[in-house]
């Protein structure tokens, strides 16, 4: 039963998305951002940071499966994985389903998001906190990649949008430092917004990727709460073959990993790189520099 309250998402000038609120479960201001968790009749629990939807219990599986399994299964031998951001720990939960991963390091700037999500999103993130491979670092991800001596096979940037503390995770310097931290042939994937509404963000990220990595690309998935159609995931690697990993190879790796998914399939993985024309044009514009 709705309380009559609504929460308004104000990410895009000229468009507002209103969510009915059955009840407010938590509301606070951390050192870094405003945090609110409320119950919506369609999406279940909804987390907003600074007024922008981050995760919902109903559709988190789409975003998390597509950001975690696509790079890990394309790589095929990932042992060291880094998540930058990812405070709700849904990405870590998906990544840790891969038995070949020896260590999953997550660098999140805001410990309040992790602590809060541990309590409030246990329906999807509970296994993470019992997994000895989970290595949580509370720090700015940009600073971490600039300073660490460690190397990673896969880096996933599960960030907020390019404003506030997340802005630094969309810069050329950050992508260059990630490149330094990748093992040869490793891969970076990024949360790159909804191209219909945030085209410039995708063009700029791909432009930066192309100035550093041999292969700069994007893939897509449709996630209901990331309003506006397809969401783009940025893709950058020095190994251009990873993006073209055939479905039969992905199927073999996925079957060997031995877990179920609700959105990801090897066929969806391969198809996600087939971009609608307006998104392909944005990626091509970025590649041209």
CB of 12 to ligand SAM, least distance (A): 13
DSSP letter string, 217-238: EEEEEE-TTS-SSEEEEEEEES
Name the DSSP letter for residue 274: S
Distance CA 189, CA 206 (A): 11
Q: In this structure, are strands 5-9 and 17-21 parallel, antiparallel, or unpaired?
A: antiparallel
12 burial (CB, 10 Å; 0-12 / 13-18 / 19+) is middle
CB of 154 to ligand SAM, least distance (A): 17
Q: Phi and psi of 46, rounded to 5°?
A: -120, 125
User: Which of 83, 109, 206, 217 lies at the binding interface for ligand SAM (CB under 6 A)?
Assistant: 109
Of the listed pieces 85-93, 118-126, 204-212, 263-271, which binds ligand SAM according to CB under 6 A? 85-93
Q: Which two tokens stand for residue 130?
A: 């019992």
Q: Are 221 and 228 in contact (CB under 8 A)?
A: no
User: Which of 59, 83, 86, 175 lies at the binding interface for ligand SAM (CB under 6 A)?
Assistant: 86
* Residue 158 annotated among the catalytic residues of the structure: yes
Closest CB to ligand SAM among residues 78, 231: 231
User: Does 169 sit near ligand SAM (CB under 6 A)?
Assistant: yes
Kindly name the residue from 50, 59, 110, 158 that is annotated as catalytic.
158
Q: Phi and psi of 242, rounded to 5°?
A: -55, -40
User: Does 46 sit near ligand SAM (CB under 6 A)?
Assistant: no
Of the listed pieces 86-94, 127-135, 176-184, 267-275, which binds ligand SAM according to CB under 6 A? 86-94
User: Does 85 sit near ligand SAM (CB under 6 A)?
Assistant: yes
User: Does 140 sit near ligand SAM (CB under 6 A)?
Assistant: yes
Q: How many CA atoms lie within 13 A of 88 on its CB side?
A: 27
User: Which of 110, 153, 201, 215 lies at the binding interface for ligand SAM (CB under 6 A)?
Assistant: 110
Would you please indicate which residues are annotated as catalytic (active-site) residues?
158
What is the contact surface with ligand SAM in residues (CB under 6 A)?
A: 49, 54-55, 63, 84-88, 107-110, 113, 140-142, 158-160, 165-166, 168-169, 191
């Amino acid at each position: 039963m709705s309380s009559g309250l609504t929460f308004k998402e104000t990410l895009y000038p000229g468009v507002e998305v209103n969510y009915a609120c059955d009840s407010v479960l938590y509301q606070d201001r951390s050192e870094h951002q405003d945090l609110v968790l409320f119950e919506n009749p369609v999406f279940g629990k909804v987390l907003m940071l600074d007024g922008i939807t981050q995760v919902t219990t109903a559709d988190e599986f789409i975003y998390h499966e597509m950001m975690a399994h696509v790079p890990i299964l394309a790589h095929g031998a990932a042992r060291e994985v880094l998540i930058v951001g990812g405070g709700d720990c849904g990405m870590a939960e998906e990544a840790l389903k891969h038995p070949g991963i020896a260590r999953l390091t997550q660098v999140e700037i805001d410990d309040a998001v992790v602590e809060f999500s541990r309590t409030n999103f246990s329906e999807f993130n509970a296994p993470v906190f019992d997994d000895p491979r989970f290595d949580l670092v509370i720090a700015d991800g940009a600073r971490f990649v600039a300073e660490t001596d460690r190397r990673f096979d896969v880096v996933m940037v599960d960030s907020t949008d390019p404003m506030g503390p997340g802005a630094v995770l969309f810069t050329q310097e950050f992508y260059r430092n990630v490149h330094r931290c990748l093992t040869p042939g490793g891969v970076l994937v990024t949360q790159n917004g909804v191209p219909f509404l945030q085209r410039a963000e995708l063009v700029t990220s791909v432009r930066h990727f192309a100035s550093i990595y041999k292969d700069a690309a994007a893939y897509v998935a449709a996630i209901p709460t990331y309003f506006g159609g397809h969401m783009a995931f940025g893709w950058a690697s020095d190994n251009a073959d990873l993006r073209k990993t055939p479905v039969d190879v992905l199927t073999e790796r996925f079957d060997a990993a031995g877990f179920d998914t609700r959105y990801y399939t090897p066929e969806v993985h391969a198809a996600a790189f087939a971009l609608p024309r307006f998104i392909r044009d944005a990626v091509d514009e970025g590649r041209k520099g």
